[in-house]
Amino acid sequence: MSEKKRLWQPTIDETRCTACRICHDFCPKGVYGFTPGGKVVVKNGEQCVDGCHGCEWQCPSWAITFPEPITADYIAKAVDYYGKKGKPVPSTFTTYVKGRYGLEFP
C-alpha cells in the first residue's frame, strides 16, 4: 500500500530557502528536518497543524508555502486570536502579509 502525501503540509521552494533554521526552530510540531548537507526538508509533514501558516510568515526568504494562501479571513482570525490574548500581532506576521500578499490589517 502506498502512503499518500497529506494535503496540509508545507512546501519549501529550494531556490529561495537559505537554510536559516527559523522554520525548524519555530515549529513546535517537529515538521522540519535537515539533510546531511544542511538543506531544510519537510521531515514530519503529517504533524503539521491544519490551517497553520506560522512557519510561512516566519521565513525571511518567503520559501515556505501551503496548499491555501493566507487570506483576509485568516488575517482577521489572527488579529482576533492575539487580541483575545491581550498581545499585539507579531510584526513578522504583519510585514510578511503586507509584503507577500499586499493585504492590509483591519
CATH number, residue 80: 3.30.70.20
Q: Which is more confidently placed, 66 or 101?
A: 66
Residue that the C-alpha cell 504533524 belongs to: 47
User: DSSP label at 47?
Assistant: G
CA 49 to chain CA centroid, nearest Å: 10
- The tens digit of pLDDT for each residue in 44-96 reads 999 999 888 999 999 999 999 998 888 888 888 888 999 999 999 998 888 88
In this prediction, residue 106 carries a pLDDT of 65
Report if residue 79 sits inside a domain. yes
Report if residue 104 sits inside a domain. no
Report if residue 48 sits inside a domain. yes
Report if residue 67 sits inside a domain. yes
Report if residue 89 sits inside a domain. yes
Q: How far apart are CA 38 and CA 53, in angstroms?
A: 23
Beta strands in 5-106 (DSSP E): 11-12, 32-34, 40-42, 64-65
Q: Domain count of the chain?
A: 1
Q: Which domain holds residue 69?
A: 11-97
In this prediction, residue 60 carries a pLDDT of 93
Report if residue 6 sits inside a domain. no
Report if residue 103 sits inside a domain. no
Report if residue 34 sits inside a domain. yes
Neighbours of 11 (CB within 10 A): 13
